[in-house]
Amino acid sequence: PLRPALPLRCNYCSRAPSPPSINSAETASKIARWSLRLNADNTFLSYHRNAIIATVAGAAMVQYRKGEGRPPLAAACLFAIGG
């Protein structure tokens, strides 16, 4: 009969070392800094994504209004929002 392979695997397993003691105040400070950095990155990327969308929408409005023969006032506002 076949024997399960579990006993063989256990012979080759090693125990992971226990983590060194970590100062909780230092860890909390490090996590807070990374959270602040992540928040700043997300805000930066969101701002630029919205600026690109507003610029593209402004360009589309210019083309649409040009076809109608009317001034592209909304497009000018979108270009201003886009930067």
46-65, pLDDT tens digit by residue? 999 988 888 888 888 888 88
CA-to-CA distance for 58 and 51, rounded, in angstroms?
10
Q: In this model, does residue 37 exceed pLDDT 60?
A: yes
Q: Residue 2 has what pLDDT?
A: 56
pTM metric for this prediction: 0.53
CA-to-CA distance for 69 and 83, rounded, in angstroms?
25
CA-to-CA distance for 66 and 68, rounded, in angstroms?
5
Q: In this model, does residue 12 exceed pLDDT 70?
A: no
Q: In this model, does residue 9 exceed pLDDT 80?
A: no
